[in-house]
A and B are shown apart, each in its own frame.
Chain A
Amino acid sequence: AQSVTQLDSQVPVFEEAPVELRCNYSSSVSVYLFWYVQYPNQGLQLLLKYLSGSTLVKGINGFEAEFNKSQTSFHLRKPSVHISDTAEYFCAVLGGSYIPTFGRGTSLIVHP
């Protein structure tokens, strides 16, 4: 079985400030991890993914995430956010099957 917990439902932040969106997972087997972004009234787009190798993964739009196996976490970070980063962010895990489990989402709200 696999599960994902996104610890924050909403994260407000001011423009140009750093941000971290937290994701913890649970799985009985090795995992693959993903972050997706959903802009208002749109579908989900892949932001970045961890499959293997380096635990620091870089994605689009300046985002990066770090895989921490001991803490079963895959937190998403950006050093300086823009208004355009306002969106819903979803963490997803793939464990033993090829059907992903998505977290409940974190709403990132960037204030000017």
Chain B
Amino acid sequence: NAGVTQTPKFRVLKTGQSMTLLCAQDMNHEYMYWYRQDPGMGLRLIHYSVGEGTTAKGEVPDGYNVSRLKKQNFLLGLESAAPSQTSVYFCASSPAGWRVLGYGYTFGSGTRLTVV
């Protein structure tokens, strides 16, 4: 099925460990985003990409790195996990520019990460 696929769906990390979350979309969307969702905080943008090979910081980028080597994939990395990074992470994609108004944003089903 077309859409945004996130792996893994669940993960438990120890403080200081590293990991990479993978987001893959098959809709040929130019833009991709990583959000974190915390109770009472809504969705906060971590990083985003407006095209292959580009990345930009969002609202809460500290402690995360991203890469977009291929148009269909957007990776989110945690180099040294901290308990404050316990959250649900969502990836989203959209067409570029004015076309996003008609299509909206397509979200993955999320990755639930716990850092102990």
Contact = CB atoms under 8 A, between A and B. Distances in A.
Q: Do A and B come from one complex?
A: yes
Interface of A: 6, 9, 32, 34, 36, 41-46, 49, 51, 90, 94, 98-100, 102-105
B96 interface: yes
Contact of A49 (B31, B40, B104): B104
B101 A51 contact: yes
Contacts of B104: 34, 46, 49
13 contacts: A32-B101, A41-B109, A42-B109, A43-B4, A44-B43, A44-B92, A49-B101, A49-B104, A51-B102, A90-B43, A98-B100, A102-B43, A104-B40
Interface residues of B, number: 25
B41 interface: yes
B42 A94 contact: no
A44 B42 CA distance: 12
B45 interface: yes
Contact of B108 (A32, A43, A103): A43
A74 to B, nearest CB: 15
A104 B38 CA distance: 9
B90 to A, nearest CB: 6
A41 B45 CA distance: 19
A108 B101 CA distance: 26
Interface string B82-103: 0000000010101011001110
B74 interface: no
B43 A98 contact: no
Contacts of B94: 98
Nearest to A32: B101
